[in-house]
Amino acid sequence: MNFEESVNPAMQLAAAPLQRKARSSALPNRSTRRSKSPSDQAPSDIAMPSQQSPERAAHCAGFLTPDRILRLPEVLAMVGIGRTLLYELVKSQQFPAPLKLSARTRGWRLSAIEAFLAAKEGQ
């Protein structure tokens, strides 16, 4: 005698909802539902001026391009150092100080970071 034969029909009906198979069309989790906006991109996905296409560089050569403001993740990716060391260099005035954009927001000028890197390459 197997399990199904030993259980009366009323109990089989009561246990039926527990025996249902999992839904195959489960909802995706939040990370797959969210669309990636440009601000969610990793710093490595952002094209640095040296990585621009030749067509874009030629197009921008005749025009003055505004100096971009970089946030901390972009600066760390460009310079290749950690946050703690970056702030130690700022404190010792070996690295450009950030601009105060708002009460809790700081940013660095792209030209200041490029000048710092050019000076380090010259040493």
Spatial neighbors of 112 by CB under 8 A, at least 6 apart, are 96
Spatial neighbors of 44 by CB under 8 A, at least 6 apart, are 77
Q: Is 66 or 81 the better-scoring residue by pLDDT?
A: 81
Crossing angle of helices 72-79 and 83-91, rounded to 10°: 90
Q: Which two tokens stand for residue 9?
A: 């029909």
Residue 110 has pLDDT above 80, yes or no: yes
CA distance 92 to 116: 14
Residue 26 has pLDDT above 90, yes or no: no
Residues forming a β-bridge with 99: 107
Residue 40 has pLDDT above 90, yes or no: no
Q: Quote the pLDDT of residue 43.
A: 52
pLDDT, averaged across the chain: 76
Q: Which strands form 106-109's sheet, in the order they lie side by side?
A: 69-70, 106-109, 99-100
DSSP state of 1: -
